[in-house]
Structures are given as C-alpha cells and as structure tokens.
Amino acid sequence: MLAWPNTPYNSGMVSYELYARQLPWPVDWAQVYGRAAPLLVEIGFGGGHFLVDLARRRPAANILGVEIALPGIRRGVQKLKTAGVRHGRVIQSTAEHLLWLCCAPDAVSEVYINFPDPWPKAGQQHRRLINDTFLALLAARLLPGGTLYVATDDPDYAQAIAGCLERSSTFISCLPAAFVTEDTVRPRTKYELIALDAGRTCHYFRWQRQAVPAPRLFPIPKELPMPHVIMHLPLNPEEIASRFRPQQFSADNVHVRLPLMFQAAGGTLLLVEVYIHEAPLSQRVGLLVRRREDGDYLVGLSEIGFPRPTPGVHLAIGGLARWLLGLHQDTAVKQHNLTVEDDYFNEL
Ligand SMILES: C[S@@+](CC[C@H](N)C(=O)[O-])C[C@H]1O[C@@H](n2cnc3c(N)ncnc32)[C@H](O)[C@@H]1O
C-alpha cells in the first residue's frame, strides 16, 4: 500500500482540518498536501456534500473547503474522513481571510461559491460576500486561466454578481451569457435542493480569470519578530494599574484599542487587553508588562491564543510603552526591537 507522504502538517495520518491561526502567510499548499497540485477552493461549503463530491471527481487536485460555521467544519471533516479523500481539507475561516493571508498570487486554480447568503433586505446587502472588492481579491489570488463558479437562487443577487463580473477587467464568462439557469452536471447542494423544491430558479455562473495583471491591492502582511521593550520606570505595578485609562490610537490603517489592564495576583505582572484591526486581520491579544528582578519593566506580547506579531502588534506595544514612559519623568527605554523609528520614544 502507498504511504501518504509525511509533511509538517501530517505524519502519515491525514489531518483533515487546518487551523487558520497556525498557518504561515502565505501557505505553502504543496507542503500542506504533501504534493504540488492545482488548488480548488469551495467557499461556504455548508453540509460538505459538494466538497466531498468535488474531491472524489478530482483526485489529481488539492481540495480545500472554507467555512465560517463550526458545525459545517465538523461535518466536513467527518465526510472527508468517511470518503477517505486524503487530498481534501477544511478550514474554519472567512473566505476573505483565507484568500488574502493564506493564498499567494496565482495560488488558486478554481473557486466554487454555492448559494452564498443572499442578504436580501435593502439594509443588509453590504454583507454580501460577492462584490467588486471581493472579486478583485479573487482575481489577485486566482491563476490566469483559473475558473470561478458561482450559483445562487436569489435573482437580485444574481444580477448584482453579473454586474460586478461584467465591470471587472479580469474575468470573462465561459458561458454564452453572464449565467445560465440549468446545470444538470454538477451535484446539487442542500440550498440548491431547497430552492428547486420551492420552485425558485437557480443561476449558475462560470467565469475565467483572464491573463491580465490583477491590481496589487491585497499585500500579504509581514510577520515581525516577537516584540519587546525593556524600560526603566520608577513606579510599582499598583501605581501603573491605578493610572490606566482606556485608550485607542491609529496609524497606517491600523486601529488599536486598549480597554482594560489587569494586575496578576503576586503583583509583578500587568496584562493589557488589546484589540488590533489591520485589514483583513482582527486580533484580540494580551500585552504583558512584567517587572523584572532588576526592577526594569519588560513590555511584550502574551503568547496565549497564537497571536501573530504583525506591524499592528508592534504599534500596540509601542503605544503602550509610550504611555508608560509618560507616567514619570525618570523613565527610559533601555532596549527594544520594535519596527519604529529610532526617535519614536524620544518625542515625548
Ligand atoms: C446559504 S449557505 C450555503 C451552503 C452550501 N454552499 C449549500 O449550497 O448548501 C452559505 C454558507 O456560507 C458560509 N459563509 C458565509 N459567509 C462566509 C465567508 N465570508 N467565508 C466562508 N464561508 C461563509 C455560511 O456559514 C454558510 O454555511
């Protein structure tokens, strides 16, 4: 019997679920699957029936299902396992996160979006997955010649999708029109069956990514070294905690909010809760302010929950360190590895 190749993600046994938080940016998909093959992505696979069928029909491709709902992930894992399709994986993530952070340009060969949530009410349409920005992201990650398949039973959403595709300079329809209303070849999905039973018309799109350069709008964020600042600050942790007030700041499209500071029992450690938004990533992390034996303070990132040391995290630690420096006149930064200008801490 042929052994499945060992990769850093499996050791002979297949692990059908990938963990978005732990994957590098971008992902080396050949390493994940143990082989180089075209990557086919189903977005919002729901029950997983179509995903498993796709994996069965395309044994020479690497198959990836992305879904935000945990029950869907569990069903997907179970179905892939039962079917024994070792080239199938699922990941709990938004499609936007997966494509932007985990997929390099040209990494994806085919994308399937079956019955995306239609958000039919007037005030909700901004929540729809497929819009001009999302198509630009798809174009940035799909291989030239790659294919985008979409199906929907919502006539208004179908017209909106057709409009976006026709406006985009990177996609061209493989069909005589923007969409057709019959497709007897593909397996039916759960939502498709519900729509057909209710007598609704389904709209099927098949568009090809043309060989024109995609706009470079979605840079993959860099990961930096784990950040730290060592500073002299002649205050004890109680004094620091008592002066803390919620704060927020922004720079370079990064928004940082520090709502709370906690003091650990025993007294030498403070933990600051921090929210960092730097599209497409939002992280809730803990920043540590630890008094060392020599009396200096170390400001760093708690490793709880696999935080990613992004420029936003460096900005958050820099902001916290600046606030600490402003608490007393006899403060000084002794050492730091933040990606900030050398005079950042001297501006106070
Ligand atoms: C209407 S259901 C369709 C499910 C399945 N494709 C079908 O046709 O039966 C839409 C699915 O998309 C998932 N979803 C919604 N937004 C998503 C996003 N941004 N990224 C990934 N999945 C998403 C939902 O959790 C849900 O399972």
Q: Which of 28, 53, 106, 117 is catalytic?
A: 117
Q: Is 90 in the pocket of ligand 1 (CB under 6 A)?
A: no
Q: Which token pair is 261? A: 């500071």
Distance in angstroms (rounded) separating the CA atoms of residues 93 and 216: 23
Distance in angstroms (rounded) separating the CA atoms of residues 215 and 229: 37
Identify the pLDDT of residue 3.
45
Indicate the residue type of 183. D
Q: What is the pLDDT of residues 37-53, one digit of tens each?
A: 999 999 999 999 999 99
C-alpha distances out from residue 45 to 104, 197, 251, 290, 317, Å = 22, 20, 37, 45, 38
CB 46 within 8 A of CB 191: yes
Distance in angstroms (rounded) separating the CA atoms of residues 22 and 88: 18
Identify the pLDDT of residue 1.
36
Residue 35 Cα to ligand 1 middle (Å)? 28
Mean pLDDT by 10 residues, the chain (348 residues): 48 84 95 97 97 97 98 97 96 97 97 97 93 97 98 98 96 97 94 97 98 89 94 96 96 94 91 95 96 96 92 95 96 93 72
CB 158 within 8 A of CB 179: yes
Q: What is the pLDDT of residues 58-96, one digit of tens each?
A: 999 999 999 999 999 999 999 999 999 999 999 999 999
Identify the pLDDT of residue 2.
42
Question: Could you tell me which CATH number the domain at 17-209 has?
Answer: 3.40.50.150
Cis previous bond, 38, omega within 30: no
Identify the pLDDT of residue 343.
77
Q: Is 294 known to be catalytic?
A: no
pTM of structure: 0.89
Q: Which of 81, 82, 65, 56 is nearest to 18 (CA)?
A: 65
Q: Is 191 in the pocket of ligand 1 (CB under 6 A)?
A: yes
Identify the pLDDT of residue 222.
86
Domain boundaries, the chain: 17-209, 228-346
Distance in angstroms (rounded) separating the CA atoms of residues 299 and 270: 9
